[in-house]
């Protein structure tokens, strides 16, 4: 699927610290629902992500091992069923203590620009860093049924960017798969914009790239609801990610 973009774990992949298992079991709800085979791959992915990522703290924030491991685990979950063992061209992960404030003119849609500060939970830059709010990252790991996860969202953008175009369509196996993806996602996107959705929040209607990122959040966090309300979209995401989180979830209660 990913051709020359593929990055394989080497035999020298750093070891997974056994103490991280308790941390992830307690702080990352998804961890307890993975099979032994899935956990073995996740441990390698997490260890590699922690060791090979350039970590940066913003605004005097102090990074800890717990922060790095929780971010690595959430980013790695997207890779679990993919033929890909890392995120090419991510130059660093920059962690803010809470919301990220950005200044400067920016488009707001319809050719209109605003100079008002923007408050974000995260941001993914093409061939650059991924910026994350630790407060939002922690909430996303511990309370998945809320449906929000900034790490899934921003790293879904990085998967979307792998083919050099941020258009809501990540690299797919062939033209048939791509055409089916575009048809299904366009129909769901148009519905969100026109009517809203019981499972996809309005931000999914911003543009196709944001639709894919929001759909990824819901696919992993409210899988059963997505399968019920958007079965065709669920099938496309299941085929792409190589995972069936609706079968993994014990329930979607609090």
Residue 3 to residue 175: CA distance in whole angstroms: 15
Residues 162-219: pLDDT tens digits?
A: 999 999 999 998 999 999 999 999 999 999 999 999 999 999 999 999 999 999 999 9
Residue 8 has a CB neighbour count (10 Å cut-off) of 10
* Spans of the chain, pLDDT less than 50: 4, 106-112, 254
Specify which residues 112 forms β-bridges with.
109
Q: Give CA 172 to chain center in angstroms.
A: 17
pLDDT reported for residue 9: 59
pLDDT reported for residue 248: 87
DSSP readout, 25-94?
Answer: HHH-GGGGGS-HHHHHHHHHHHHHHHHHS-EEE-TT----HHHHHHHHHHHHHTTTTSS-SS-TT---EE
Residue 136 to residue 133: CA distance in whole angstroms: 5
pLDDT reported for residue 14: 87
Backbone phi and psi for residue 124, each to the nearest 5 degrees, phi listed first: -115, 130
Specify which residues 93 forms β-bridges with.
55, 130
Q: List, in order of start, the domains of the chain with CATH numbers.
A: 167-254 (3.40.390.10)
Which pTM was predicted? Answer: 0.89
pLDDT reported for residue 102: 61
- Indicate the pairing of strand 106-109 with strand 112-114: antiparallel
pLDDT reported for residue 254: 45
pLDDT reported for residue 120: 76
């Amino acid at each position: 699927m990913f051709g020359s973009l593929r990055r394989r774990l080497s035999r020298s992949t750093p070891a997974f610290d056994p103490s991280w298992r308790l941390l992830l079991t307690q702080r990352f709800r998804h961890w307890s629902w993975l099979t032994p085979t899935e956990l073995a791959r996740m441990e390698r992915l997490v260890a590699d992500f922690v060791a090979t990522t350039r970590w940066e703290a913003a605004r005097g924030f102090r990074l800890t091992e717990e922060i790095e491991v929780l971010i690595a685990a959430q980013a790695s979950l997207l890779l679990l069923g993919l033929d890909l063992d890392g995120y090419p061209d991510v130059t660093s992960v920059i962690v803010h203590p809470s919301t990220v404030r950005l200044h400067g003119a920016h488009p707001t849609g319809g050719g209109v620009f605003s100079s008002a500060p923007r408050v974000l939970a995260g941001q993914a830059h093409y061939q650059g860093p991924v910026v994350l709010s630790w407060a939002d990252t922690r909430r996303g790991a511990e309370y998945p049924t809320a449906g929000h996860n900034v790490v899934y969202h921003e790293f879904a953008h990085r998967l979307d960017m792998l083919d050099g175009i941020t258009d809501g369509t990540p690299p797919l196996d062939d033209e048939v798969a791509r055409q089916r993806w575009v048809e299904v996602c366009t129909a769901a996107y148009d519905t969100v914009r026109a009517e809203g959705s019981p499972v996809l929040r309005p931000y999914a209607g911003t543009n196709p790239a944001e639709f894919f990122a929001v759909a990824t959040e819901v696919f992993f966090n409210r899988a059963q609801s997505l399968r019920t309300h958007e079965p065709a979209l669920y099938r496309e995401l299941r085929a792409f990610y190589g995972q069936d989180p609706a079968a993994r979830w014990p329930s979607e209660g609090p």
